[in-house]
Amino acid sequence: MNLIEKIIHSHLAGGECRPGAEIKLVIDQTLCQDATGTMAFLELEAMGIDCVKTELSVQYVDHNTGQIGPENANDHLYLESVCAAKGVLYSRAGNGICHQVHLERFGIPGKTLLGSDSHTPTGGGIGMLAIGAGGLDVALAMAGEPFKLTYPHIIGIHLSGKLSPWVSAKDVILKVLSILGSKGNVDTAIEYFGPGVLSLSVPERATITNMGAELGVTSSVFPSDQNTLAFLKAQGRAQHWVELKADDDAKYDRIIEIDLSSLVPLAACPSNPGNVAPLSQCGGIEVNQVLIGSCTNSSLKDLQTVAAMLKGRKLHSGVSVGIAPGSRQVLQMLSRDGSLETMLAAGCRILESACGPCIGQGFSPASDSVSVRTFNRNFLGRTGTRNDRCYLVSPETAVATALTGKLSDPRVVAQELGLEYPQWRMPEKFIIDDSMIALPDEPGKTGEIIRKETIGAPPKCSPLPENLQGEVLLQLEDRITTDHIMPAGANLKFRSNIPRYAEVVFDCFNREGEPTFAQRAAALRDSGKAGVIVAGESYGQGSSREHAAICPMYLGVRLVLAFSVERIHAANLINFGILPLQIRKQEDYDLLKQGIAVEINGLPQQIRQGTEIEMTLKAADGKTQRITLLHNLSKDDQELVIKGGKLAKF
Ligand code: MIC
Ligand code: SF4
């Protein structure tokens, strides 16, 4: 068996191990972050669960830490008190980004981890089978229910050779993105193997598995070896180490060969992580902002490399540089070894250990300017600036750019400046201080759950109608992300208030002087009709935010018609009673224009009797046409969506 098969087999709670079949997995650990966690815990409360049933559940505060207005702090109070009551560890604001802290303090090779954040697969860097999901699915896992997923096709990426100086882990995952693209990889998982693995430390592996999320795969996993042990030892957790690897005769559904020595510095160009090009092809662009951090590139390894490159140098005067260390541990280490001083002396702006600009919380770039970031997503507008131009690169490329003011190949800059590549070594011991992680109350001695006025309730959805009458509210193209559907940035603080957050659904498609999407959808809902969204391929890529289903559902959306829907988003739609249907032909897509009326008769019966759904389209001139759509819902999911989603039963 390969390693992913081994972990799945040891956690199987039902189903058949065959690509495409539905299986149930026992979940050992869960993680939530604050932007998805409030809803997850409100859902857990709605289920009437007293105490979580997992081996370990941790709630982090890392997304909503700007605290402009009381909403964020109200969320934090609610989360800390509900975690104390339900047996969940709570990592306070300032302690770091969930994926980085989880890797440092809690990740265990061979365990399963379900997280309400799409970058949960970061845990694959330490040999976990770590999967992102919507908050409701994580709440169910905390309640002790196994997690349902499609048994994946397993791609083996065989690594050989060793990275050349100035080429780093980010370039490896950008290379993989250039091969597999950022769409069409649903129900696939990636396992890294081969002699090249040993040349990568745990933080480097975690950069690679983290950005596997941008491929749209279920998870990415590295073996657990001597490097994993070295990392765990330095974290004071050697007892958690087990050796894990694929059998010598393991099979994969597909094998991709990557010779690490042949890689060059790469960039993901605007505005998708899949738009990868060698830096030599996009160099010379004038850059105004460089940001280093996010759960992809904010480890001690990354930031000590950054400091070594900056030592004794000043930033280019045209560039504003921000650095957000991934955790308080990383920040303390940088402070102790003098790296922080080097960064400040160079002219860098030091940010809190949190997601910050990665999710549009400040540091939006100037209009018509270029921002270069070590982050994982550059979807249009995610920086908080409309029509932004954002490039994703390695920390080495980011510093080379910060020094020159132009998007630069670090190999060239190193030669010009006479820079030696800083060789990184894992410290013998990291600074270990878990005092910002609050432990739960003793059973039977739980305190009050604090619920301020900005904490709402998760809305329930009604069953699907017998005969659905609706209208296409929006016809969209390929690769519509959850950032398009549910913008974060300045709106992130409304995550606990669905009616308020729903006002900005599809905000990026609203035009001045015209009714907004939310207004059109609510008017249709109030007239008793269903809202319909039409899209191309890979609808709902990106974040795990279930708000991209909850808020449209709240506005009366009941159908999403697309060529394909990404895994986490498809599950979120079903969980909240929205039916995803597959468009079969381009001619059908072309007919599904905004404003066209649609009708489906006997919808529940059609769902139950097969995979085809007949829909009638009625144009404004009274002409009707029929099209056939497909669904691939399991029996359980059919009943779930028919009765109005998972919360309907509570
Ligand atoms: C993201 O990177 O888009 C986020 C913000 O971390 C999301 C979660 C969210 O929307 O709260 C994710 O990746 O799942
Ligand atoms: Fe936070 Fe950005 Fe990572 Fe999402 S991708 S968890 S916003 S750092």
> What is 125-177 written as a DSSP string?
GGT-EEEE--HHHHHHHHTTPPEEEEPPEEEEEEEES-PPTT--HHHHHHHHH
On whether residue 456 sits in a domain, the answer given is: no
On whether residue 450 sits in a domain, the answer given is: no
137-151 pLDDT, tens digit per residue, is 999 999 999 999 999
For residue 294, report the distance from its CA to the centre of ligand 2, in Å. Answer: 6
On whether residue 459 sits in a domain, the answer given is: no
Question: Which ligand lies nearest to the CA atom of residue 115 in the structure?
Answer: 1
Whether ligand 1 lies within 6 angstroms of the CB of 541 is answered as no
Single residue among 417, 450, 476 that ends a domain in this structure: 417
pLDDT, the chain, mean: 97
For residue 235, report the distance from its CA to the centre of ligand 1, in Å. Answer: 27
For residue 175, report the distance from its CA to the centre of ligand 1, in Å. Answer: 23
On whether residue 449 sits in a domain, the answer given is: no
On whether residue 460 sits in a domain, the answer given is: no
Residues 242 and 301 in one domain: no
Task: Give residue 443's pLDDT.
Answer: 85
Q: Which residue has a Cα nearest atom 2 of ligand 2?
A: 358
Residues 187 and 290 in one domain: no
Whether ligand 2 lies within 6 angstroms of the CB of 117 is answered as yes
Whether ligand 2 lies within 6 angstroms of the CB of 358 is answered as yes
Q: Which residue has a Cα nearest atom 3 of ligand 2?
A: 295
Per-residue b or e along 397-425, where b marks 16 or more CB atoms closer than 10 Å to that residue's CB: bbbbbbbbbbbbbbbbbbeeeebebeebe
Whether ligand 2 lies within 6 angstroms of the CB of 213 is answered as no
Looking from the CA of residue 33, the nearest atom of ligand 1 is 11
Residues 38 and 127 in one domain: yes
Whether ligand 2 lies within 6 angstroms of the CB of 294 is answered as yes
Classify burial at 391, counting beta carbons within 10 Å of its beta carbon; exposed 0-12, middle 13-18, buried 19 or more.
buried
Single residue among 225, 245, 262 that ends a domain in this structure: 262
Query: Hey, how many other C-beta atoms are within 10 angstroms of the C-beta on 21?
Result: 11
Query: Hey, how many other C-beta atoms are within 10 angstroms of the C-beta on 546?
Result: 30
Is 57:88 a contact under the CB 8 Å cutoff? yes
Task: Give residue 648's pLDDT.
Answer: 86
On whether residue 586 sits in a domain, the answer given is: yes
Whether ligand 2 lies within 6 angstroms of the CB of 383 is answered as no
Whether ligand 1 lies within 6 angstroms of the CB of 488 is answered as yes
Residues 386 and 501 in one domain: no
Is 378:390 a contact under the CB 8 Å cutoff? yes
On whether residue 428 sits in a domain, the answer given is: no
Single residue among 385, 417, 449 that ends a domain in this structure: 417
Q: Which residue has a Cα nearest atom 11 of ligand 1?
A: 35
- Which residue type, as a one-letter code, is found at position 180? L
Whether ligand 2 lies within 6 angstroms of the CB of 353 is answered as no
Task: Give residue 282's pLDDT.
Answer: 87
Residues 509 and 637 in one domain: yes
Domain of residue 372, CATH code: 3.30.499.10
Question: Which ligand lies nearest to the CA atom of residue 382 in the structure?
Answer: 1
Residues 18 and 134 in one domain: yes
Bridge partners for 219 per DSSP: 189
Q: Which residue has a Cα nearest atom 1 of ligand 2?
A: 355
Residues 288 and 148 in one domain: no
Domain that holds residue 139: 3-262
- Averages of pLDDT over each 10 residues, the chain, 650 residues: 98 97 98 98 96 98 97 98 98 98 99 98 99 98 98 98 98 98 95 98 98 98 98 98 98 98 98 96 93 98 98 98 98 98 98 97 97 98 96 98 98 97 96 98 92 93 96 97 96 97 97 97 98 98 97 98 98 98 98 98 98 96 96 96 91
Whether ligand 1 lies within 6 angstroms of the CB of 572 is answered as no
Q: Which residue has a Cα nearest atom 4 of ligand 1?
A: 543
Q: Which residue has a Cα nearest atom 7 of ligand 1?
A: 543
Domain count for the chain: 3
Residues 217 and 315 in one domain: no
Question: Which ligand lies nearest to the CA atom of residue 117 in the structure?
Answer: 1
What span, in angstroms and rounded, lies between the C-alpha atoms of 278 and 129?
31
For residue 425, report the distance from its CA to the centre of ligand 2, in Å. Answer: 26
pTM score: 0.98
On whether residue 462 sits in a domain, the answer given is: no
Residues 360 and 223 in one domain: no
Residues 236 and 358 in one domain: no
Query: CB-based contacts of 514: which residues, under 8 Å, 6+ apart?
Result: none
Task: Give residue 269's pLDDT.
Answer: 98
Residues 407 and 511 in one domain: no
Residues 359 and 472 in one domain: no
HEC letters along 495-548: CCCHHHHHCCCCHHHCCCCCCCHHHHHHHHHHCCCEEEEEECCCECECCCCCHH
50-94 pLDDT, tens digit per residue, is 999 999 999 999 999 999 999 999 999 999 999 999 999 999 999
For residue 33, report the distance from its CA to the centre of ligand 1, in Å. Answer: 9
Is 213:118 a contact under the CB 8 Å cutoff? yes
Query: At which residue do the structure tokens 């009616």 appear?
Result: 499
Q: Concatenated DSSP letters for 459-507?
A: PP-PPPPSSEEEEEEEE--S--BHHHHS--GGGGGGTT-HHHHHTTTTG
Domain of residue 507, CATH code: 3.20.19.10
